[in-house]
């Protein structure tokens, strides 16, 4: 499949690298490719600049958000939640129309420090905001409840049987997304329902953030025992 991963951060890199490894034709999307490649400093989280990752992954193209989305069959939103609307607007409504839009972003507001708060919650979600703003895209919220490396390598945990959630209005788009999740190695996928159920998945973030501090690692996940 031709896949656009919008976002050049650690999540975009993890997803783009794994999708390319699985044989997909992958383009990462950014605001300004030349500017992104020219960065030499680590990002705010201390991750190395995108160029280093790109050099190690020559099969992944880098393009503007719009070019990446235009050439894709499926688009992934891996941008910061606070700018997701801006990034998707730059990607272009027409370039998203009719396509599966896998949304892994979290509506985090870090302006008051750690832990961040949610800028939308309880009665609405970022996933729904994106679906309303881009009604012709088929938004599927998923993977936002685990750290980047576990998204694409769930067997990194010795008990690989942990849970990933999907929310979305379009049944076929969810099936396409679930097939991708299974290709990553996920075995326990729970379909929560329509895109309004993204409220549930997004509001797991406050407990996820406290757990990261309590267990002193981001390498953990929720497992729904039933």
Q: Which residues bind ligand NAP (CB under 6 A)?
A: 7-12, 30-31, 36, 78-81, 83, 86-87, 104-106, 108, 144, 147-148
- For residues 49 and 40, is the Cβ–Cβ distance under 8 A? yes
- For residues 130 and 198, is the Cβ–Cβ distance under 8 A? no
Taking the least distance from each CB to ligand NAP, the nearer of 4 and 78 is 78
Residue in the shown chain whose Cβ atom is closest to ligand NAP: 9
Q: Which residues are CB-contacts of 60 (< 8 A; sequence separation ≥ 6)?
A: 16, 17, 20, 26, 27, 28, 54
Nearest distance from residue 79's CB to ligand NAP, in Å?
4
Taking the least distance from each CB to ligand NAP, the nearer of 86 and 171 is 86
Taking the least distance from each CB to ligand NAP, the nearer of 48 and 172 is 48
Taking the least distance from each CB to ligand NAP, the nearer of 44 and 171 is 44
Taking the least distance from each CB to ligand NAP, the nearer of 138 and 142 is 142
Nearest distance from residue 23's CB to ligand NAP, in Å?
23
Q: How far apart are CA 127 and CA 140, in angstroms?
A: 8
Nearest distance from residue 95's CB to ligand NAP, in Å?
15
Nearest distance from residue 161's CB to ligand NAP, in Å?
20
Nearest distance from residue 93's CB to ligand NAP, in Å?
15
Longest dimension (CA), the chain: 49
Other residues' Cβ atoms within 10 Å of the Cβ of residue 220: 17
Q: Helices 84-91 and 126-133, interaxial angle, to 10°?
A: 30
Q: How far apart are CA 167 and CA 142, in angstroms?
A: 7
């Amino acid at each position: 499949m031709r896949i656009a991963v919008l976002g050049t951060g650690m999540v975009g890199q993890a997803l783009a690298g794994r999708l390319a490894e699985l044989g997909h034709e992958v383009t990462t999307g950014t605001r300004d490719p030349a500017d992104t490649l020219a960065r030499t400093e680590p990002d705010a989280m201390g991750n190395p600049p995108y160029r280093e990752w790109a050099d190690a992954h020559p099969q992944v193209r880098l393009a503007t958000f719009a070019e990446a989305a235009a050439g894709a069959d499926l688009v992934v939103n891996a941008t910061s939640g606070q700018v997701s609307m801006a990034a998707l607007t730059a990607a272009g409504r027409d370039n998203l129309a009719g396509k599966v839009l896998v949304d892994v972003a979290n509506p985090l507001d870090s302006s008051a420090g750690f832990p961040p708060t949610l800028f939308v919650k309880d009665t609405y979600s970022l996933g729904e905001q994106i679906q309303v703003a881009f009604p012709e895209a088929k938004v599927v919220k998923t993977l936002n409840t685990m750290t980047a490396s576990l998204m694409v390598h769930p067997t990194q945990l010795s008990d690989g049987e942990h849970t990933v959630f999907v929310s979305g209005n379009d049944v076929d788009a969810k099936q396409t997304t679930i097939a991708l999740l299974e290709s990553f190695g996920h075995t326990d996928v729970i379909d929560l329902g329509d895109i309004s159920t993204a409220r549930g998945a997004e509001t797991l973030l406050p407990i996820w953030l406290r757990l990261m501090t309590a267990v002193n690692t981001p390498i953990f996940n929720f497992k729904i025992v039933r």
